[in-house]
Amino acid sequence: MIECENLVKEFKEGKIRAVDGLTISIKKGEIYALIGANGSGKTTTVNMMTGALAPTSGRVSVLGVEMPEGKKLISGRIGVAPQEYSLYSDLTLEQNAGFFAKLYGMDSERFRKRFEELNGILRLKGREHSLVANLSGGMKRRASIECALLHEPEVVFFDEATVGIDPVLRAFLWDYFRSLRSKGLTILLTSHVMDEAGKADRIGLVRAGKLVDEGEPETLMARHDVSSIEEVFLKLSGREITDA
C-alpha cells in the first residue's frame, strides 16, 4: 500500500540530510506510527509519500503509484491532515469542508451526506457555520481530520494529528482510527508522543532521518527489554536533545 525504498531527502545542496535511506513497507488496513523526535524527518517523509516533495534519491510508491510523478493520479484516493492546520480560519467549517470536497471532485449531495456523517462522528455538530478561527484547538484538529476523510480515501496521512489535544479526545480519535482500519483504511501517522504510538499496529522509530527500529509495539518493548515505547525510544535515541 505504501512502499519506501532507500528514501533520501537532502536540503541546502546536501548540507542537511532530513531523510537518510528510509525503507518502509505498510500493508493495507494497517495503522503505522512513524515516531521520532522533532526534526527527525517524519514530516519530510510524509511529504514525499504524499507527493508534496520529491525525494533526492530512492523511491516511494503509494497505492502502487510512484510518487511524486503520479500524485495527481491518486490525489482522490489519499487524505492528508498536515501538522499545520491547512484550514482557512476566515471561512466556516462548512465552507472549508466544501472547498476540499470540490477539490476532490465530490458532488454536492455526496458532500452533504458525508459532511453530516463526519460531523456526527467527530463531534462537530452545531459548529458547521462557525468560523474556523473561533474553534478550539481540538476542534480545529478534528476539522482538519474531517477534511482529510471527506472523500473516503484509501490511505490517510495524519501528521502529528493527535498532538496538542486532550486525553479524552485523543482516546476518542484512536477509537475512530481503529474503526477506519476495520473498514480497510490504511493509516500512517506521525507523532513524537510515544505512549500513543503504542496503540498503532506497527511502529517505525526514526532518528536523524534513519529508521532505527521497526515492529509491533509489544515486539519492540520485548526486543529492548523495556515496558514502554517511550523507553524504547529513549534507549534508541540515546537521550540526545535534537533540534526542534
Partner 1 sequence: MPKTGRFSMRRSTAVAERVLAQIRRDRRTLGMLFAMPAVIMLIFGFALGGQVSNVPILVDNQDAGYSANLGVTGMQLYAGSHVLASLQTDSAVSVTTGSFASGRQGVDSGAYFAAVLIPSNFSQVAFMRAQGRNVSASIQLYIDGTKPSIVATVLGALQNAVQNTSRVKGFNLVQQYAYGGKFSGLDVSLPSVIAFVLTFLVLLISLLPV
Nearer to partner 1, 33 or 106 (CB): 106
**Interactions with partner 1, residue window 33-52 (CB under 8 A):** none
Nearer to partner 1, 72 or 125 (CB): 72
Q: Which residues of 114-135 are buried (b: 16+ CB within 10 A; e: fewer)?
A: bbeebbebbebeebeeeebeeb
65 binds partner 1 (CB under 8 A): no
C-beta atoms surrounding 171 within 10 Å: 13
- In sequence order, which ranges of the chain are alpha helices (DSSP H)? 42-49, 71-74, 93-103, 108-121, 137-149, 167-182, 194-197, 217-224, 229-237
CB of 102 to partner 1, least distance (A): 4
Nearer to partner 1, 3 or 94 (CB): 94
- Using CA atoms, how far residue 134 sits from 89, 92, 168, 231, in Å, is 8, 9, 21, 38
Nearer to partner 1, 102 or 125 (CB): 102
88 binds partner 1 (CB under 8 A): yes
Instruction: Select from 73, 208, 221, 226 the one that contacts partner 1 (CB under 8 A).
Output: 73
105 binds partner 1 (CB under 8 A): yes
CB of 98 to partner 1, least distance (A): 8
**Interactions with partner 1, residue window 114-133 (CB under 8 A):** 131
Nearer to partner 1, 28 or 72 (CB): 72
- Angle between the N-to-C axes of helices 137-149 and 93-103, in degrees from 0 to 180, rounded to the nearest 10: 20
91 binds partner 1 (CB under 8 A): yes
